[in-house]
Structure 1
Amino acid sequence: MIRTAIRLTPTIAFPFFEKRNVNDYNKLHEPEPQTANSGLDRVKKMFQRDEFEEVSVELHNVIQATLSGAFIGACFGGFLKSREAYVKFIERNQATAFTSTIQAKKQLQDYVTIRFAKGAVHWGWRLGLFTGCFSLITTVIAVYRGESSLIDYVMAGALTGGIYKANLGVAGTIVGATVGGVLSAFGGLLILNILKITGVSMEDVRRVLYNIKLAREDQYNQVLEKSAKEKHDNLTRHHDKLISEKGEKKIEEIS
């Protein structure tokens, strides 16, 4: 009965019941063959560098997710605290006598800037740590299992939520794990449905992001190489000009 329900259930609504359709066409590239035999070997390979001392595709995306979470948290916390600081400064200093308008603006700017920095630090490292833990756990489970499914998000959300609220005791840990698991389930369903509709997999998304990073580094290296060549050519021409004007000297003749 369960198998019949699973077979008749539309996979676009519940993509975690089965894998991608066999008729789905991979528009990005053919999946790379798995060189690691077991899930543990794949996890070990995820944390190893390649022959070019580059991190793996999965670990690169975890790092990018952590940095993005920290950046978004810093912006959110900074803007939130700076707005609160502006309102509080105006309310507290309505009857304050300042020597000049410049002094009032300077104190306001200093107060808002300090509160912005505190809010950015307060929210930045928390959201970065939370995002990094969630992304790392999700990626490790997916790499170990060899595929992405809803269970990855539920387990990662429950573990991350429990760890985040561990300082509140056993009750706080349970509540955090429950809330994290439920929210991650909704988020996982949304992500998996989007992937199902577009016909790509999470591995495709990770590899595309990694290729973008490689392309950006390649463009940066080309600009540096071009700049270095131009500087070297100018330096060489200047050196040749000095040699032609003053002539060559031996080391013993140089005082």
Structure 2
Amino acid sequence: MSATQEQPDDQAPRGIVSEIDRPVDFSQIAVLQNETGWDRLRTMFDLSSGFGPELELVKTGVGIGIVLGGLSGGLNYAKQAKMNYIRQNEANYYLKPKEAMREMQDKMALEFFRGGFKLGWRMGLFSGIYVLGTVSGLTYRNKFGIAEHVASGAVAGLLFKINLGVKGSLAGLVVGGLLGLVSGTTMCVGTKAFGVTVPEFRYWQHNYWMKEYNEKKAKWDKKRKKELSSAAEESQEQKAETT
């Protein structure tokens, strides 16, 4: 059997076919064919076995947003604290350099944590909303697209700037939507270039490959037992005829 042909259900299993060599269209696999968009979303938000692969992506996005936002906000606030201290304490900075340096470092550290917290949780929230909306959209539609990126980015941007009033919220909505457009376009191009699909991702990450393998193995075992039973009956009949 060539590597480009799918193994029939009634043949003995040849082991688990590798992800790279599997030639079939994942959306046509029996265990995935009858799923609806709501079925996929229910599976995504099923927490009976902990976070699934989709929610793990959301958790990772939140973590990255917190880290990047914390570092960005912390460094910016620390830099501003240094400049403000030098400007406000120029005499002490030169007359008592050691004390001034220690005091300045204390203020920079305090402002670093203050700025990191202030921007970190907001970036984490922005990233979480964006990734959750995007992953939910592609899971429901069962394909990578741009619309869910634009919508999620717009909502996240709106909430990120909501404290600035109507104008700030609208600006955040527009900027978030544009960022989502760029991100979605990049992802669509990348996934098409590498041949990655949502059904394929779900097939491997949700262990549907094991379900399919077990189903095929059960069919083969049933057929094999039937063949062995028929062979045993024929053997007994032949013995009876010879006697």
Common fold: TM-score over 0.5: yes
Which TM-score band (shorter chain)? 0.5 to 0.7
Alignment of 1:147-166 (within 5 A): 147-166=143-162
Q: Does the 8 Å CA contact 1:28/1:204 hold for their aligned counterparts?
A: no
| Residue aligning to 2:219 | none
Deviation, structure 1 residue 181: 1.6
Deviation, structure 1 residue 38: 1.9
Alpha-carbon distance in structure 1 between the residues aligned to 2:21 and 2:95: 66
Q: Does the 8 Å CA contact 1:36/1:42 hold for their aligned counterparts?
A: no
Letter in 1 for 2:161: K
Change (3 A) 1:175 1:90: closer
| Residue aligning to 2:175 | 179
| Residue aligning to 1:42 | 40
| Residue aligning to 2:187 | 191
Compute the RMSD of aligned alpha carbons: 3.1
Alpha-carbon distance in structure 2 between the residues aligned to 1:170 and 1:182: 18
Deviation, structure 1 residue 112: 0.6
Q: TM-score, normalised by structure 2?
A: 0.65
| Residue aligning to 1:62 | 58
SS of the equivalent of 1:96 reads helix
1:139 and 2:135 are equivalent in the alignment: yes
| Residue aligning to 1:71 | 67
Alpha-carbon distance in structure 2 between the residues aligned to 1:96 and 1:190: 53
Residue segments in structure 2 that go unaligned for 5+ positions in a row: 1-18, 207-243
Q: Does the 8 Å CA contact 1:46/1:58 hold for their aligned counterparts?
A: yes
Alpha-carbon distance in structure 2 between the residues aligned to 1:55 and 1:77: 30
1:41-89 superposed Cα distances (whole Å, 9 cap, x missing partner): 2112111135xx3310000110011011100110111111111211221
Change (3 A) 1:169 1:97: closer
Letter in 1 for 2:86: I
- Further displaced range: 138-147 or 58-67: 138-147
Letter in 1 for 2:191: L
From 78, 85, 88, the equivalent of 1:82 is 78
SS of the equivalent of 2:174 reads helix
Work out which of the two has the higher radius of gyration on C-alpha atoms and give 1 or 2. 2
Q: Does the 8 Å CA contact 1:43/1:144 hold for their aligned counterparts?
A: yes
Change (3 A) 1:93 1:36: farther
Residue segments in structure 1 that go unaligned for 5+ positions in a row: 1-25, 211-255
Letter in 2 for 1:48: D
Percent of paired sites with the same residue? 28
1:108-152 superposed Cα distances (whole Å, 9 cap, x missing partner): 111110110111011101111000000001111111111121111
